Amino acid sequence: MNLSDLKAALAAHPDLNLAIRLPDGDPVPAHFHITEVGHVVKRFIDCGGDMHHDESCLLQAWVADDIDHRFTAGKFARVLDLFARLTPNETLPVEVEYEDCSISQYPVLSAAATDGSLVLMLGEKHTDCLAKEACGLASADQAPSCCAPGSGCC
């Protein structure tokens, strides 16, 4: 889901509480708070020497002891309006950073009004070798389970 899709969903349901579901279907506790909205730029080189550039809108979801706290879609839309000063465009993919034993990032797949809440459904992210052919691991359309010892990949 990109930023403009998220903003449209929020605008369509401003009075609903915001909810987040992890990839396994478990909910983030209802009293979470979006503490940061960031424009993240990642420039990197893969193990084959090719340069890459990636950008996203990263939302940090935080859970505190205030169990009565609820974050509405309308309040979140106002926070995203402030974010407009920092983002180059609204086509950025949206991800959620959430800590439950460890900090993880999840892409936002969809937003839907369900059971009186606007629910953000999160997907999974995986690591990958971006230079499989250069590493001699496999063709670009095959996904090996790991680098072979001595392959020079890593």
Give mean pLDDT in consecutive 10-residue pieces for the chain, a chain of 154 residues.
98 97 96 95 95 97 88 94 92 97 96 96 95 79 55 55
* Helical spans, DSSP H, in 13-131: 73-83
Please state, in angstroms and rounded to a whole number, the distance separating the CA atoms of residues 53 and 47.
15
* pLDDT reported for residue 148: 56
Paired with 34 in beta bridges are: 61
* pLDDT reported for residue 142: 54
* pLDDT reported for residue 134: 86
Q: Which long-range contacts (CB under 8 A, 24 or more apart) does 124-128 make?
A: 124/23, 125/95
* pLDDT reported for residue 103: 95
pTM: 0.85
7: helix, coil or strand? helix
